[in-house]
Structure 1
Amino acid sequence: MKERKILMQQKIKRNKQKNQKYDLINRLPHRLSCEMENCELIFSPEVDAILDKVHKLWNYELHKGDFVTKYHNFRKEFSWEDEVIQYVQQIKIEEKQAYLFLGINDSPIFLVNGEWVIENFSDIWEAINYTDLWVFDMDVNYGVLVSRYGGYLEHDPNPKEILYAITKW
Structure 2
Amino acid sequence: MTNKESNTFLHISLRSTKQETSRKNYIKFLPVPVCETVESCEYIVTPKREVLIMDLLEKYSKRSVLRRELEGKERVLQFVKAFKQVPPHFEVFVWSVLDEGPVYKMNLKWVIDNFELLWNEYNKHELTIISENGRVGLIISEYPGYVDSTFESDEILYQVKKWGLI
Residue 77 (1) aligns with residue 79 (2): no
Question: In structure 2, do the counterparts of structure 1 residues 58 and 23 end up closer, same or farther at CA, with 3 Å as the change threshold?
Answer: same
Matched AA of 1:19: T
Runs of at least 5 residues in structure 1 that lack an aligned partner in the other structure? 61-70
Q: How does 1:13-162 map to 2 (within 5 A)?
A: 13-57=15-59, 59=61, 74-91=66-83, 92-95=85-88, 96-126=90-120, 128=122, 130-152=124-146, 160-162=154-156
Cα distance 1:32–1:58, how it changes in 2: closer, same or farther (>3 A)? closer
* Alpha-carbon distance, 1:54 to partner: 3.5
Whole-Å Cα distance in 1 between the matches of residues 56 and 142 of structure 2?
17
Q: Percent identity of the aligned residues?
A: 25
How large is the RMSD of aligned CA atoms in angstroms?
Answer: 2.2
Q: Distance in 2 between matches of 1:58 and 1:111?
A: 17
- Aligned with residue 168 of structure 1, among 144, 162, 165: 162
| Bigger proportion of residues as strand | 2
- Code of the residue aligned with 2:162 in structure 1: it is K
Give the Å deviation of 1:132.
0.7
TM-score normalized with structure 1 length: 0.81
The normalised TM-score by structure 2 is: 0.83
In 1, the alpha carbon distance for the partners of 2:58 and 2:30 equals 31
Which structure has the larger Rg over C-alpha atoms? 2
How far the C-alpha of 1:160 sits from its partner, in A, is: 4.1
Tell me which amino acid in the other structure corresponds to 1:89: K
Partners in 1 of 2:107 and 2:60 — Cα distance? 24
Give per-residue Cα distances to partners, 1:128-166, cap 9 Å, x unaligned. Answer: 365211111111111011111222489xxxx64321011
Determine the C-alpha separation between the residues in 2 that align with 1:127 and 1:33: 15
- For the structure 1 residues 130 and 137, does the alpha-carbon distance in structure 2 shift closer, same or farther, using more than 3 Å as the test? same
Label 1:129 to 1:111 Cα distance change in 2 as closer, same or farther (>3 A). closer
Tell me how many residue pairs correspond in the alignment: 154
User: What pairs with 1:1-20 in structure 2 (closer than 5 Å)?
Assistant: 1-20=3-22
Distance 1:153 1:145 in 2: 24
Kindly state the Cα deviation for residue 123 of structure 1 after the two structures are TM-superposed. 1.0
- 2:67 is aligned with what amino acid? R
